Amino acid sequence: MAWKIKYLKSIQKDLKKINKIEQRKIQNYLEENIAKSTDPRKFGKALKGKYSEFWRYRVGQYRIICEISDDEITILVVRIGHRKDVYRNKT
């Protein structure tokens, strides 16, 4: 089963803050590991607290915050950022 990866429009802004090499690593990770997986949850970790509906994936120093929809077989990428500030509110 192949998962479809969707991105929020704000992801473009997140990616501009990341160098091209890291961007490629993140995109390859999503396309090769997550999209082709039968269970994308085995690669990530469920978040807790007010973010409990989201999953987190690690790619080096960066984190990918996603929402997994089993009904539609899609993964919505909500946020991408450095581990030190990805969980903070956007301003």
Please report, for the chain, the start and end positions of each structural domain, with discontinuous segments joined by +.
4-82
- Write down the pLDDT at residue 25: 97
- Write down the pLDDT at residue 10: 93
Asked if pLDDT for residue 19 goes beyond 90, the answer is yes
Q: How far apart are CA 27 and CA 50, in angstroms?
A: 26
Which residues, including other chains, have CB under 8 Å from residue 65's CB and lie 6 or more apart? 47, 51, 54, 55, 56, 77, 78, 79, 80, 86
Q: How far apart are CA 14 and CA 35, in angstroms?
A: 20
Q: How far apart are CA 22 and CA 38, in angstroms?
A: 25
Confidence bin at 91 (pLDDT 50/70/90): very low
- Decide if 73 contacts 1 (C-beta within 8 A): yes
pLDDT tens string 46-70: 999 988 999 999 999 999 999 999 9
- Write down the pLDDT at residue 14: 93
- Write down the pLDDT at residue 24: 97
- Write down the pLDDT at residue 90: 62
Q: At the topology level of CATH, where does 4-82 sit?
A: YaeB-like fold (3.30.2310)
